[in-house]
Structure 1
Amino acid sequence: MTLRVLCFSDLHRNHIAARQLVKMADEADLVLGAGDFANRHEGLSDTLDVLCAISTPTVLVPGNGETVEELRDATKEWKAATVLHGEGCVIELKGKAVPIWGVGGGIPVTPFGAWSYDFDEEQAREMLAGCPENAILITHSPALDTVDKDSTGRVRGSQTIREKILEKKPRFAVCGHIHDDWESQVTLGSTPVLNAGPNGIFVEVPE
């Protein structure tokens, strides 16, 4: 049996895409939002005010455009949503306990400056240390040399996330962050890895 999972990332205040995601979520068992709901910390609440109509169980991580504190504050009234950052949760879906681990922010540190919510590889290692085997992994940043190529073809992902996927073998990993690789999917080890993008992608994930 599989779970039908709706994945998205990098809305950046795109309310048209957010309203479409609300409609799509009715057809999903689980919704995963891989960060960057705001633009440089602006517009987070108005984007979440649209998304909070989703009643399907939803797990979010912050992007580099909002902090985990800002995201938790903006989702206080969204009963279906769980925000993760360096931590995990277990959600009951179809009568089974599904472990999910989440890490947000830009990894490694981006060139964007002080506004960007970033972490270095050592900090990422600490935040990923508790990830269990065979979980669903949701990160804002992609694993190095997977779905992380920018417009010049340069890879921009995280070595630590790559190592952790190979070590812990998540059943599925979703990310965003690198816009030029939106909707791309590869397999790393045995794990399907998706850079979701704002339009919403349905994937079938083993229970």
Structure 2
Amino acid sequence: MRILAFSDLHLDSAARDAILAAAEGADLVIGAGDFAAQHRGLAAFVAPFAAIAGKAVFVAGNNETVDALRAATPVPVLHGEVTELAGLRLAGLGAAVPPLPPLPWHSFDLTEAEAARLLDRIDAADILVCHSPPKGVCDRHARLGPIGSTAVLAAARRLAPRWLLCGHVHDDWGAQGRIGATGVRNLGPGVTWIEL
């Protein structure tokens, strides 16, 4: 099983096109959020992903909402939900968790309590896809320090998925870690391959 995973494209069409080209060799494609830039440009940017909708799954980032991403693409968008694809049970959660410091634009954020309520609905997962990383793993921001989510960390410990795939914290793109038996990767906008 070859999984292609990415996050945080932020309207980078060259990165998107590289992912779509690589997707031909993937059994499953996972997008961990932030397709848009400050809620702009989403529909036109994600339209080409329709070509791989049958083998892809996304979560929203904090630069687009769940509803906006669902309206813009036929790719399934998970938010406190589970789906089966390519023989795997995939669960997901979008948004920035916890909320970011105030920004000059409206970030799609969840409190830890809101995220925990959504994640608690998930009873099992082979792969957990969250835009935000778990607290203390792949979450180091250069200025703010570790900004990951305690709710995501608790879900990873409870569910023990094979992988927790995330993005959001640009300063830690490419970072890897572990939570017990669960591998954690902060993906970033490049082509990342995971073999299962």
Displacement after TM superposition at 1:144 (Å) = 0.4
Displacement after TM superposition at 1:55 (Å) = 5.2
1:60 and 2:58 equivalent? yes
Query: Residue 87 of structure 1 contacts residue 102 of structure 1 at CA under 8 Å; is this kept in 2?
Result: yes
3-state SS of paired residue (2:136): coil
Give the aligned partner of residue 46 of structure 2: 48
Query: Residue 102 of structure 1 contacts residue 137 of structure 1 at CA under 8 Å; is this kept in 2?
Result: yes
- Given the alignment, which residue of 157, 163, 166 partners 1:172? 163
Show CA shifts across 1:101-122 (max 9, x none): 1100000011144610000000
Q: Following the alignment from structure 2 to structure 1, what is the Cα–Cα distance between the partners of residues 149 and 137?
A: 10
- Given the alignment, which residue of 147, 151, 163 partners 2:138? 147
Give the aligned partner of residue 151 of structure 2: 160
Show CA shifts across 1:25-61 (max 9, x none): 1111100000000011001012102333335510100
3-state SS of paired residue (1:23): helix
Give the aligned partner of residue 22 of structure 1: 20
- Given the alignment, which residue of 104, 107, 112 partners 2:97? 107
1:86 and 2:80 equivalent? yes
Query: Residue 186 of structure 1 contacts residue 194 of structure 1 at CA under 8 Å; is this kept in 2?
Result: yes
Displacement after TM superposition at 1:152 (Å) = 3.5
Query: Residue 28 of structure 1 contacts residue 56 of structure 1 at CA under 8 Å; is this kept in 2?
Result: no
**For the structure 1 residues 6 and 112, does the alpha-carbon distance in structure 2 shift closer, same or farther, using more than 3 Å as the test?**
farther
Q: Following the alignment from structure 1 to structure 2, what is the Cα–Cα distance between the partners of residues 8 and 172?
A: 14
Q: Following the alignment from structure 1 to structure 2, what is the Cα–Cα distance between the partners of residues 169 and 130?
A: 15
Displacement after TM superposition at 1:7 (Å) = 0.6
3-state SS of paired residue (1:19): helix
Q: Following the alignment from structure 2 to structure 1, what is the Cα–Cα distance between the partners of residues 108 and 130?
A: 13
Under a length normalisation based on structure 1, what TM-score does the superposition of the two structures give? 0.90
Query: Residue 53 of structure 2 contacts residue 76 of structure 2 at CA under 8 Å; is this kept in 1?
Result: no
Q: Which runs of 5+ in 1 are unaligned?
A: none
Give the aligned partner of residue 30 of structure 2: 32
3-state SS of paired residue (2:76): strand
Q: Identity, % of aligned pairs?
A: 38
- The code of the aligned residue for 1:31 comes to V
Query: Residue 21 of structure 1 contacts residue 51 of structure 1 at CA under 8 Å; is this kept in 2?
Result: no
Give the aligned partner of residue 125 of structure 1: 116
Query: Residue 82 of structure 2 contacts residue 125 of structure 2 at CA under 8 Å; is this kept in 1?
Result: no
**For the structure 1 residues 121 and 18, does the alpha-carbon distance in structure 2 shift closer, same or farther, using more than 3 Å as the test?**
same
**What is the root-mean-square deviation of aligned Cα atoms in Å?**
1.4
Under a length normalisation based on structure 2, what TM-score does the superposition of the two structures give? 0.95
Show CA shifts across 1:68-124 (max 9, x none): 11001100xx3xx21111111112x2xxx3111110000001114461000000001
- The code of the aligned residue for 1:20 comes to A
Please list every run of at least 4 consecutive aligned residues from structure 1 whose deviation after the TM superposition is greater than 6 angstroms: none
Q: Following the alignment from structure 1 to structure 2, what is the Cα–Cα distance between the partners of residues 177 and 43?
A: 18
Give the aligned partner of residue 68 of structure 2: 70
Q: Which runs of 5+ in 2 are unaligned?
A: none
Count of residues in correspondence between the two structures: 195
Displacement after TM superposition at 1:189 (Å) = 0.9
